[in-house]
Amino acid sequence: MDADRYARVRELFLAVEELPPSEQLDYLKSQAGDDQELIDEVRSLLSEHDAELARMEGESAKSLLPPANDPAVAANGFVLSDEVAALSDGSEATSATVNSGTKQGDSATFRSHPDSKHAAARRRANEDSKSSAAKPASGAQITQHGSQRTHASPRDFDAPSTAKKSKEKEFWQHRARRHRRFNSGWLWFAALLPTALVGWWTYHQVNESLQNAIGNELNGVANSVSISVDQFLSDKAKLTESWARQPVIRQSVMELLEIAKQPDANAKLKTAEQNDLILHQLQELSGRENVKFVVWAPAGKILASWLPDRADVGGSIAPSGAANLNRAMRGETVLFGPEILRDESNGFVPETSVPVMAEIVPVRDDDNEVVAVMLVRGFGMFADFDRLFRQAAEAGGLDVYAVSRDGTMITNSPQASVLAAQGVLAAKESEIAAQLRVSDPGVELTRGSSKGNRMAQALTYAAAGASSGQENLQLSPYRNYAGIPVVGAWRWQPRWQIGMVIERSAKSAFSTARIVRFGFLMLGALLSVTAFIAATQIAKRTALAQAATHPLNRYELLSELGSGGMGVVYKARHKQLGRDAALKVLRSDRQNRDDRLRFDREAKLAASLSNPHTVTIYDYGRSDEDEAFCVMEFLTGITLYDVVSRSGHQYFGRVLFILRQICDSLGEAHALELVHRDIKPQNVMLSFDPSVGDWAVVFDFGLAKPLTPDAGSYQTAETIWAGTPMYMAPERYREPNKIDPRSDIYSVGCIAYYLLSGRPPFIECDPESLFALVLTEQPISIATHRDESVPDDINEMVAKCMAKSVDDRFSSIDELAARLDELRQQYSWTVHEAAGWWRIHGSEV
């Protein structure tokens, strides 16, 4: 190795040695490029480097050196090595053979372990090369063995034995002190640990209790507001419906319809006295002088209105109101708003800039046929609606507001009004209701900060959940419309298309937990020994408390998996068996007799099934407090919905393989005269079995019903549809109470369509439109979605399952299973193919 190469190694070693171990290799590669030999040389030195030992040995070597100009050196006949010269005068050695020096006192000297094969080889080469130029003047030279020498120690200097022993003693004393400090630290930690454990346990319990309390509070307020909103809007709808049935109004509308048929009808309508009769009657009924109304004919023509000049009479309804007109003409009472009114081309000019709420009601003739539609507003509906949310917010110190389907805040949130007044929100206080989009700005906003474009920002967690029709509780902090971390709950009223959001700032919600944590940190610092004794006593009391005979005490709750209409499902582990399970507990708000009997029925029906492709029931019972619970098999894997979400449409053979297993599960259920009624991709769990491949398990028998109900068992009476609409058979819409196993076959066909095409058979936002599609239309061909041809026999199988008439479907699930067995002979799906899919797409299971 030449001097330049040695200098390069030294330079890299000194630079890399100061870096954290995780960054050393990347830095070496960035500096050495393709010179792998250079990288290996430096890494070898690093692997055998002991910084503490090198420092101490370097200090030992320096203490033994005479001054650089000491004449005793020459008198004794010794020649200093380059390393010693460098250490003695603070300069770097520049020998053509060796360049291993460094600055005086620098503990980062080339500190390779003495056993390094690279260091030993270099020493031998250097000593050989210097043998003619750097020999000692006498035979008194003593060469250290490789195991006793480093680059920082002299090679040719004979150190006195007493000095060597002194430094050796100092070295071991130093290590002894280090071990003593280490042991002392462990002893201190052992004293502090009980306090820390008690602190952690207490903090955890307080935090959990806080979460339960906050969750109960948010859910309670959300449920209360939801009920109040539904009751309020229902009352207003009934009130306006009664006005529409009032004889004077009905007769006036009938007369206006007759006038509309006459020549020059528009002029006559504008001067018709029926306008005033309707207005006066509404003023009398509502008790408000400012009540406003509009009457439309079936075709959308304006027959009458509250405007003094009646400029809009004779015009047509705005295009945006056509849908509401059609709904009202079908006999519905439609809620309008809250919404900011805009100028329309039919002559209407808004008289107010505040949000407006109105009811659109049908007007019927003597034969109870809808002949016209009337809109009524101006009777304080929005003010009362907004006050309902404001009172809920003020009572609990919460932020309570309503959102529309598009995520717009449609009430005046007190918190938003305060932030707007402070200049945090890019809106005035009067621009909140029906105008502020509830989006997540990404960061917490402050006065004068960049607000961003709310239309381009994603909705907040709560607004997105509520506007998509979900009901949930979120105790993990998320950002609200001002970027402030909050926790919240939300509800959705499908009838009125209004969502309700209840939020509390995370800071105030969990302030108690932070105080408890800080208090225990102080306690641990000041009273370690006392905390140790207290922890022992608390542990004893805790053990006694947990020895209670509560039946659920056998299970350790790990996490909440979800909440449904009847119960809350947790992931749990049996404390003695160590087996994971799904623990379903009847919700606290569903503890009435009917709900308990329904819960019993679901558990008993599911427990009667034993097919390996059906979820297994382990246990069922009630606690001493009469809490109903059910312990089920904990399914691992992903649902068929997730399978398609991850990889799109599936191979023909795989679809047939999965459907066959679903048929096994339903075959047993049907044999026991039990119909599932809610077969859908989200209710089939798929996992990987090394011996079989894909393994499907059907779960959620919450809507299952027997074909021949036992007169002695509890039965539910259904007046509404039960199930998921896009996967329900047509006859389920027509006769919800009729139970037929072939309805499950239709749903299996829908799953087959979904897996083969990557899309549900029917997709519609409007439930009525979806019902119409299921009842009358055929889904788009699978080949169109796949953009490739689909074998006729598979198309025929799916079409037969999804036939509109039950008589055109497979007569039984066993017949479908037999057909699947025939098709599987043509379209295989092997364990190897399944393993390949799971390796790519199932890594997150």
CATH number assigned to the domain comprising residue 570? 3.30.200.20
Q: What is the pLDDT of residue 130?
A: 41
Q: What is the pLDDT of residue 12?
A: 82
Q: Read off the pLDDT of each residue in 474-486 and give the average, rounded to a whole number.
A: 91
Write out the binding residues for ATP.
584
**What tokens does 228 get?**
């109040």
Indicate whether 371 belongs to any domain: yes
Evaluate if residue 170 carries a pLDDT over 60: no
Evaluate if residue 687 carries a pLDDT over 90: yes
b/e per residue 655-680 (b: at least 16 CB within 10 A): bbbbbbbbbbbbbbbbeeebbbbbbb
Evaluate if residue 482 carries a pLDDT over 60: yes
Evaluate if residue 448 carries a pLDDT over 90: no
Distance of alpha carbon 665 from alpha carbon 615, whole angstroms:
9
Of 386 and 116, the one with more pLDDT:
386
Pick from 125-134, 336-345, 531-540: least confident: 125-134
Q: What is the pLDDT of residue 438?
A: 93
For residues 119 and 112, the answer to whether their CB atoms sit within 8 Å is: yes
- 560: helix, coil or strand? strand
Of 641 and 71, the one with more pLDDT:
641
Count of all residues that appear for the chain in the document? 845
**What tokens does 697 get?**
């398990």
Residue 116: pLDDT band (50, 70, 90) is very low
Clarify whether residues 481 and 370 are in a common domain: no
Indicate whether 240 belongs to any domain: no
Of 533 and 718, the one with more pLDDT:
533
**CA of residue 215 relative to chain centroid, distance:** 17
Evaluate if residue 174 carries a pLDDT over 50: no
Residue 283: pLDDT band (50, 70, 90) is very high
What is each CA distance from 568 to 186, 582, 590, in whole angstroms?
44, 10, 11
Q: What is the pLDDT of residue 550?
A: 55
Evaluate if residue 150 carries a pLDDT over 60: no
Indicate whether 781 belongs to any domain: yes
Clarify whether residues 646 and 732 are in a common domain: yes
Clarify whether residues 629 and 655 are in a common domain: no
Q: What is the pLDDT of residue 232?
A: 94
Residue 71: pLDDT band (50, 70, 90) is very low
Of 84 and 256, the one with more pLDDT:
256
Which DSSP string corresponds to 233-287?
Answer: HHHHHHHHHHHHT-HHHHHHHHHHHHHTTSTTHHHHHHH-THHHHHHHHHHHHHT
Which of the listed residues 379, 405, 435 is the one where a domain comes to its end?
379
Clarify whether residues 502 and 519 are in a common domain: no
**What tokens does 828 get?**
């295989």
Residue 22: pLDDT band (50, 70, 90) is confident
Indicate whether 521 belongs to any domain: yes
Question: Which CATH number fits the domain that encloses residue 490?
Answer: 3.30.450
Clarify whether residues 676 and 704 are in a common domain: yes
Clarify whether residues 661 and 796 are in a common domain: yes
Of 398 and 12, the one with more pLDDT:
398
Q: What is the pLDDT of residue 795?
A: 94
Q: What is the pLDDT of residue 246?
A: 94
Which of the listed residues 496, 528, 545 is the one where a domain comes to its end?
545
Strand partners, 474: 488
Q: What is the pLDDT of residues 760-787, one digit of tens each?
A: 998 866 666 777 788 888 899 999 999 9
Mean per-residue pLDDT over the chain, rounded: 76
Q: Which of 430, 444, 428, 438 is nearest to 465 (CA)?
A: 438
Evaluate if residue 311 carries a pLDDT over 90: no
Highest mean pLDDT among 142-156, 684-698, 699-713: 684-698
Percentage of the residues of the chain whose pLDDT score is greater than 70: 71
Q: What is the pLDDT of residue 764?
A: 67
Residue 517: pLDDT band (50, 70, 90) is low
The burial of 457, by beta-carbon neighbours within 10 Å (0-12 exposed, 13-18 middle, 19 or more buried), is given as: middle
Q: What is the pLDDT of residue 377?
A: 93
One-letter amino acid identity for 807? D
Clarify whether residues 533 and 574 are in a common domain: no
Q: Which of 416, 352, 410 is nearest to 386 (CA)?
A: 410
Highest mean pLDDT among 63-72, 158-167, 454-463, 598-607: 454-463
Clarify whether residues 832 and 788 are in a common domain: yes
**What tokens does 396 get?**
């609990």
Clarify whether residues 146 and 11 are in a common domain: yes
Q: Which of 676, 580, 660, 573 is nearest to 613 (CA)?
A: 660
Indicate whether 388 belongs to any domain: no
Indicate whether 231 belongs to any domain: no
Residue 102, H or E segment: none
For residues 479 and 463, the answer to whether their CB atoms sit within 8 Å is: no
Indicate whether 185 belongs to any domain: no
Q: What is the pLDDT of residue 109?
A: 36
Clarify whether residues 496 and 518 are in a common domain: no
Distance spanning both ends of the chain, measured CA to CA: 54
Which of the listed residues 633, 668, 694 is the one where a domain comes to its end?
633
Q: What is the pLDDT of residues 722-770, one digit of tens each?
A: 446 778 888 887 777 777 899 999 999 999 999 999 999 988 666 667 7
Evaluate if residue 148 carries a pLDDT over 50: no
Q: Which long-range contacts (CB under 8 A, 24 or more apart) does 713-719 make?
A: 713/601, 714/597, 714/598, 714/600, 714/601, 716/594, 716/598, 716/601
Q: Read off the pLDDT of each residue in 524-540 and give the average, rounded to a whole number.
A: 50
Q: What is the pLDDT of residue 766?
A: 65
Evaluate if residue 592 carries a pLDDT over 60: yes
Residue 160: pLDDT band (50, 70, 90) is very low
Distance of alpha carbon 698 from alpha carbon 689, whole angstroms:
16
For residues 762 and 779, the answer to whether their CB atoms sit within 8 Å is: yes
Distance of alpha carbon 339 from alpha carbon 356, whole angstroms:
5
Domain around 480: 397-509
The burial of 567, by beta-carbon neighbours within 10 Å (0-12 exposed, 13-18 middle, 19 or more buried), is given as: buried
Q: What is the pLDDT of residue 70?
A: 43
Of 716 and 815, the one with more pLDDT:
815
Question: Which CATH number fits the domain that encloses residue 708?
Answer: 1.10.510.10
Q: Read off the pLDDT of each residue in 664-668 and give the average, rounded to a whole number.
A: 93
Q: What is the pLDDT of residue 568?
A: 81
Distance of alpha carbon 651 from alpha carbon 755, whole angstroms:
8
Clarify whether residues 267 and 353 are in a common domain: yes
Distance of alpha carbon 433 from alpha carbon 410, whole angstroms:
5
Q: What is the pLDDT of residue 326?
A: 94
Question: Which CATH number fits the domain that encloses residue 266?
Answer: 3.30.450.20
**CA of residue 582 relative to chain centroid, distance:** 20
Total of domains in the chain = 6
Q: Read off the pLDDT of each residue in 305-332 and give the average, rounded to a whole number.
A: 90
Of 188 and 651, the one with more pLDDT:
651
Evaluate if residue 481 carries a pLDDT over 80: yes
Of 675 and 721, the one with more pLDDT:
675
Residue 102: pLDDT band (50, 70, 90) is very low
Write out the binding residues.
584
Q: What is the pLDDT of residue 1?
A: 55
What is the Cα gyration radius of the chain? 41
Indicate whether 695 belongs to any domain: yes
Clarify whether residues 564 and 687 are in a common domain: no
